[in-house]
């Protein structure tokens, strides 16, 4: 299998006009093998991406003491400095800085949900309204793309196209702009310092925009690392452990990592587009044939994601 077929480029254009079948078939083929694809015609305007990139790089280039004013009070929202986060199982913290925002619920919606740490308000640099505007514009645009994509994913699993919509009333959407500083010297020691250490994502679906630097690598079926080379005007899409579980292991949540060997800074925007906190994730929803047992008990999306986050924190302090 060549790299092109391992991480195929899928045109989302038909799905924008309601034709999910064609896109769904291609998504199915990608998600059963690599769990990754690129999508073109994702619908997010180039200016929207470029503006968030500009605003974010301006922010990341500020002195650390200035950025630290926006460090998280809760739910990892705001600015997270280098060495702040460590991937589960990793020897060292990730060599990246990131700024994260999440959903802000109306008081009525908040009341409907159990109190949880993923809820909260976003943190914004008060003197940078253009940063906030760019972030929120992208947040909305990428959610629209996510909704269309999920209709195609529903089709790919022989589910009605509204299947995911019903589980995404107030989605757990976390969007991060990520800055990987130039890091050549980091390869001299025997323990590699990853931009992001090898991992699978926790949730359902990840939509990633990456600049032209390169560095994202995905494990192939022989457990070798292959580059997810930057392709202009595309997003990289991958599934996480929760959709793998929901699909009763039909779809693969694949290992990936970031190694910024370029000697230059790298910039990406990751969106973890996950269901409602109280959405029940049950493989039986697929309408499994009698001969196929469900591999997993039902679990709520929020409980599952919180458990994965806290397990990772336990390993960090162990
Ligand atoms: O920045 C990237 O290319 C990927 C980041 C990633 O895999 C993650 O944050 O989970
Ligand atoms: Fe990831």
DSSP 109-164: HHHHS---TT-------TT-HHHHHHHHHHHHHHHHHHHHHHHHHHHHTT--TTTT
On whether the 3-312 domain is CATH 2.60.120.330, my answer is yes
How far is the C-alpha of 211 from the C-alpha of 229, rounded, in Å? 10
The pLDDT of residue 2: 60
Tokens of 202: 């926790």
The pLDDT of residue 188: 52
How far is the C-alpha of 78 from the C-alpha of 132, rounded, in Å? 11
The pLDDT of residue 317: 44
The pLDDT of residue 318: 39
Which ipTM did the prediction report? 0.99
Residue 266 CA: which ligand 1 atom is closest?
1
Tokens of 146: 């996510």
The pLDDT of residue 190: 59
pLDDT by 10-residue block (mean), the chain, 318 residues: 81 96 96 97 98 98 96 88 77 89 88 82 96 98 98 96 94 96 63 86 97 96 94 98 97 95 94 96 92 95 89 54
How far is the C-alpha of 90 from the C-alpha of 95, rounded, in Å? 12
**How remote is the CA of residue 208 from the centroid of ligand 1, in Å?**
7
What residues contact 91, with CB distance under 8 A and at least 6 apart? Answer: 191, 197
In the structure, which protein residues have their CB atom closer than 6 angstroms to any atom of ligand 1? 178, 196, 201, 208, 210, 216, 256, 258, 268, 270
Within the chain, strands assigned E span: 9-11, 36-40, 78-80, 97-101, 172-180, 196-199, 205-210, 216-219, 225-227, 234-239, 256-258, 266-274, 280-281, 299-300
The pLDDT of residue 191: 64
């Amino acid at each position: 299998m060549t790299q092109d077929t391992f991480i195929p480029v899928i045109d989302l254009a038909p799905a924008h006009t309601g034709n999910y079948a064609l896109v769904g078939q291609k998504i199915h083929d990608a998600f059963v093998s690599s769990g990754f694809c690129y999508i073109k015609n994702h619908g997010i305007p180039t200016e929207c991406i470029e503006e968030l990139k500009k605003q974010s790089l301006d922010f990341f280039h500020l002195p650390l003491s200035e950025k630290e004013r926006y460090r998280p009070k809760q739910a990892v929202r705001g600015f997270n400095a280098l060495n702040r986060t460590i991937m589960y199982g990793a020897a060292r913290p990730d060599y990246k800085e990131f700024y994260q925002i999440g959903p802000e619920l109306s008081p009525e919606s908040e009341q409907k949900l159990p109190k949880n740490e993923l809820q909260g308000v976003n943190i914004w640099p008060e003197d940078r309204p253009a940063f906030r505007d760019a972030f929120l514009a992208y947040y909305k645009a990428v959610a629209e793309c996510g909704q269309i994509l999920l209709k195609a994913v529903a089709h790919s699993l022989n589910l009605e196209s509204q299947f995911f919509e019903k589980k995404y009333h107030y989605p757990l959407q976390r969007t991060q702009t990520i800055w990987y500083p130039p890091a050549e010297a980091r390869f001299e020691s025997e323990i590699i310092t990853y931009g992001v250490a090898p991992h699978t994502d926790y949730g359902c679906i990840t939509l990633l925009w990456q600049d032209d630097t390169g560095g994202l690598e995905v494990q192939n079926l022989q457990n070798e690392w292959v580059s997810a080379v930057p392709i202009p005007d595309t997003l990289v899409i991958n599934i996480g452990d929760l959709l793998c579980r929901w699909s009763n292991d039909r779809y693969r949540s694949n290992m990936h990592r970031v190694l910024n060997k370029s000697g230059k800074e790298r910039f990406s925007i990751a969106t973890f587009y996950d269901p409602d906190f109280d959405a029940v994730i049950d493989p039986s929803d697929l309408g499994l044939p009698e001969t196929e047992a469900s591999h997993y008990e039902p679990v709520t999306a929020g409980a599952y994601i919180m458990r994965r986050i806290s397990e990772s924190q336990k390993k960090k302090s162990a």
